[in-house]
Amino acid sequence: MMAVSLTPSQHQAAVISSGFYSLSNNFSGFLISEPNIPGWWIWFYYICLVAWTLRGIVTSQLGDVETEVIGPGFHGTVNEYLNISLGFKSSMVLVFVVAVLGSCVLSFGLFALSIKVLNFQKR
């Protein structure tokens, strides 16, 4: 909805949205984890709503699990695995919630402002 409200046509909004969705899926932390993302792309990881959502869901569900995990190159608990290999800290669940709610409010505000201010009609 935000892309449609910021562009003059549905076709331009589809192009912008598909590019954003591709970048969002690549750098959400699901395909490439935070420690493995190159330094020049880490900024997109931190502004990606999907990354904050994924971090919040995984951390809230698995962050307090103390079951031993043994795998190639790792021996420890599930909490330690999330912290070391993925960079998910269980103490930051509140930050994840605030980030997701804040980005929702920001995108809705930008949508509402662009609907009110921008006018792409031709007469």
Cα first-last separation, the chain: 24
> Is the pTM above the cut of 0.85?
no
Structural domain count, the chain: 1
Question: Is 29 within the bounds of a domain?
Answer: yes
Q: Is residue 104 part of a domain?
A: yes
- Beta-strand ranges (E) seen in 3-121 are 68-71, 74-77
If you search the block for the tokens 């990354």, which residue do you land on? 51
Write down the pLDDT at residue 26.
84
* 43 assigned to some structural domain: yes
For residue 122, being part of any structural domain is answered with no
Q: What is the pLDDT of residue 85?
A: 82
pLDDT on residue 1? 80
Confirm whether 87 is domain-assigned: yes
Range of the domain at 90: 2-117
For residue 116, what is the enclosing H or E element? helix 93-117
Q: Splitting the chain (123 residues) into consecutive groups of 10 residues, what average pLDDT does each group show?
A: 85 90 83 84 86 88 87 87 84 89 91 88 71
In a domain, 102, yes or no: yes
Alpha helices in 27-66 (DSSP H): 42-47, 49-62
pLDDT for position 123? 64
| Inside any domain, residue 123 | no
